[in-house]
Amino acid sequence: MKKIKIVLVLSLLFSFSCASNDYWKLKIEVPGRTAFNLDQFSEIVITNFLIEEETKDFDLNQELVDYFSFEIGQNFNGTVSIKEITFEEEPFKNEAFWKNLLPDRKEAVLFTGGVQYTEEIRKAILQKQKARFEDPFVSKKRSLAERRFYTLNLDLYIIDAKTGKALYKRNFKESKGFENPKQTAPFAFFELIQRVKAKFFRNILGEASIQERYLIYD
């Protein structure tokens, strides 16, 4: 109901302002809501990731660890450290497994996850547009083109080191196709992980978003 009321109010304000032309259109930063408060913890320990399938000529785990350790370090006031672990079967549902990893660091959380990074070649039929004065009865020319698609399927977890319980869990699935059939996995990964970062940080750290507002004056 609140969302509906807000939309109605904004619609009315907009219609009144359009009628009188006495308004300013403003862009403001609106703070985002966090999934939970990270400030209650003093340390984030980033572990290696559970890789479903290795990517040829590309160390996916190392790229994820390096990327998140840097980005989180830029946005978290506490300590960010890295710990390599050996995964067991179904590790994310095993609270005892995570609880025993950091017995002396009860004010820490573990940042971990599972990932699948895939690529595939898809073929598409491209139809050439007719020229302005081309014979309309002549069939259009078609060509077969290849596109390379990359998909990053990433499950992220933040786990309480004291209890072993997952405080946060979310799946991110991003994909993109490239006209260049020789597009490399590292290049595509950087674009996809940037999308994940934007959504993840907005959810966890409450990054502000730009929204439009209308200010009416007499």
Q: Of the ranges 56-60, 176-180, 204-208, which one carries the lowest mean pLDDT score?
A: 204-208
Determine the pLDDT at residue 105: 87
Nearest to 116 by CA among 73, 74, 59, 55: 55
Decide: residue 2, CB within 10 A, 0-12 exposed, 13-18 middle, 19+ buried.
exposed
Mean pLDDT of 11-33: 55
What is the rounded average pLDDT for all residues in the chain?
80
- Confidence band (pLDDT; 50, 70, 90) for 9? very low
Determine the pLDDT at residue 2: 43
Nearest to 192 by CA among 207, 179, 176, 203: 176
What are 44-71's pLDDT values in tens digits?
Answer: 999 999 998 888 889 999 999 999 999 9
- Name the pairing type of β-strands 50-51 and 108-127: parallel
Length of the chain as a residue count = 218
Q: Of the ranges 55-64, 136-145, 169-178, 190-199, which one carries the lowest mean pLDDT score?
A: 136-145
DSSP 94-145: -HHHHHTT-TT-TTEEEEEEEEEEEEEEEEEEEEPPPPTTS-TTSPPPEEEE
Contact 150, 185 (CB under 8 A): yes
- Confidence band (pLDDT; 50, 70, 90) for 185? very high
Determine the pLDDT at residue 8: 44
What are 84-133's pLDDT values in tens digits?
Answer: 999 877 899 999 999 999 988 888 999 999 999 999 887 766 565 555 55
